[in-house]
Amino acid sequence: MAEQKTVYFGAGWFSDVQNRAYKDAMDALAANPTINLKDSYIPLNNQYKGIRVDEHPEYLHDKEWAQATYNGDLIGIRSSDIMLGVYVPDEEDVGLGMELGYAQGQGKYILLVIPDEFYGNPINLMSWGVADNIIPMSKLKDFNFNQPRFGFYDGAVY
Each residue of 7-34: pLDDT tens digit? 999 999 999 999 999 999 999 999 999 9
The answer to whether residue 155 sits within a structural domain is: no
Predicted local distance difference test score (pLDDT) of residue 2: 72
pTM: 0.95
φ/ψ of residue 121, rounded to 5: -70, 155
User: Which residues are bridge partners to 136 per DSSP?
Assistant: 114
The answer to whether residue 41 sits within a structural domain is: yes
Amino acid present at 9: F
* Residue 13 domain boundaries: 7-142
| Residues annotated catalytic, as ranges | 99
Q: Domain count for the chain, please give it.
A: 1
The answer to whether residue 108 sits within a structural domain is: yes
Residue 46 confidence class, pLDDT cut points 50, 70, 90: very high
Pairwise CA distance, residues 73 & 69, whole Å: 6
Pairing state between β 7-11 and 82-86:
parallel
User: Which residues are bridge partners to 17 per DSSP?
Assistant: none
The answer to whether residue 125 sits within a structural domain is: yes
pLDDT over 80 (residue 72) = yes
The answer to whether residue 18 sits within a structural domain is: yes
Mean pLDDT of all residues belonging to the chain: 96
pLDDT over 70 (residue 81) = yes
Q: In what order do the strands lie in the sheet with 82-86?
A: 7-11, 82-86, 109-114, 133-136
Mean pLDDT of 117-127: 97
pLDDT over 60 (residue 1) = no
User: Which residues are bridge partners to 10 per DSSP?
Assistant: 85
Pairwise CA distance, residues 135 & 93, whole Å: 18
The answer to whether residue 147 sits within a structural domain is: no
Which CATH number belongs to the domain containing residue 32 in this structure?
Answer: 3.40.50.450
**pLDDT cut 70: percent of the chain above it:** 99
The answer to whether residue 135 sits within a structural domain is: yes
Pairwise CA distance, residues 75 & 70, whole Å: 9
Predicted local distance difference test score (pLDDT) of residue 54: 85
At 95-115, the pLDDT tens digits run: 999 999 999 999 999 999 999
The answer to whether residue 78 sits within a structural domain is: yes
